[in-house]
Chain A
Amino acid sequence: EVQLVESGGGLVQPGRSLKLSCAASGFTFSNYYMAWVRQAPKKGLEWVATISTSGSRTYYPDSVKGRFTISRDNAKSSLYLQMNSLKSEDTATYYCARQINYGGPGWFAYWGQGTLVTVSS
């Protein structure tokens, strides 16, 4: 059974940093692209970052590019999101997601339960 367990969320002041982690199990982690997706309170979903199987390629929307960094440790079956220069609009539940890619663009097949990040002074 695919399991994704996020951790590291919490209350952080604007301008500060936070690092999220996602522990994966139930599948061969190194074979899959992974991603982060967020959801602001009572709002819709927003894709935040994607990383290739080896970690050599990363993708971000403009809203977080230059501030957020996605990374992975295949030996530990773990995914990370380093978030710097946090803003109030980054307040959201952050979901770790396993992608499916059949050669072309992927999509999110499995999701974790999410970790809440609150950016406030």
Chain B
Amino acid sequence: DVLMTQTPVSLPVSLGGQVSISCRSSQSLVHSDGNTYLHWYLQKPGQSPQLLIYRVSNRFSGVPDRFSGSGSGTDFTLKISRVEPEDLGVYYCLQSTHFPWTFGGGTKLELK
């Protein structure tokens, strides 16, 4: 199975600040069709996960442009600029290039 490693596990932030979350995979996430199936989710406290970014860098409908994704191969990053209170929660990366699909362990974004 593809191991997805997220760092850091916990990320203190000040409102209005900028943060980056790393997600590394144990093997390349480039699919045979040429696309890379790496996605980002946010799970706010007490809620279901919600899709933020799909296929590395595409923002899902309604996601503010403060969120951006980048990376390639095995190394990916989610950046959040001008952090707002509604951005707090746990962020997960997901790879769907290889079966079984696997999630990262999560990064908790919390206030300093």
Contacts and interface: CB of A to CB of B under 8 A. Distances in A.
Size category of the A interface is: 20 to 34
Interface residues of B, number: 27
A8 interface: no
A87 B108 CA distance: 29
A113 B105 contact: no
Interface stretch (B16-24, B33-41, B66-74): B33-41
Contacts, number: 62
Contacts of B1: 61
A42 to B, nearest CB: 11
Contacts of B54: 100, 107, 109
Nearest to B54: A107
Interface of B: 1, 31, 33, 35, 37, 39, 41, 43, 48-51, 54-55, 60, 92, 94, 96-97, 99-106
28 contacts: A37-B49, A44-B104, A44-B105, A45-B41, A45-B94, A45-B103, A45-B106, A47-B100, A47-B101, A61-B1, A61-B99, A95-B48, A95-B49, A104-B35, A104-B37, A105-B37, A105-B97, A105-B101, A106-B96, A107-B39, A107-B55, A108-B49, A108-B51, A111-B48, A111-B49, A112-B48, A113-B48, A114-B48
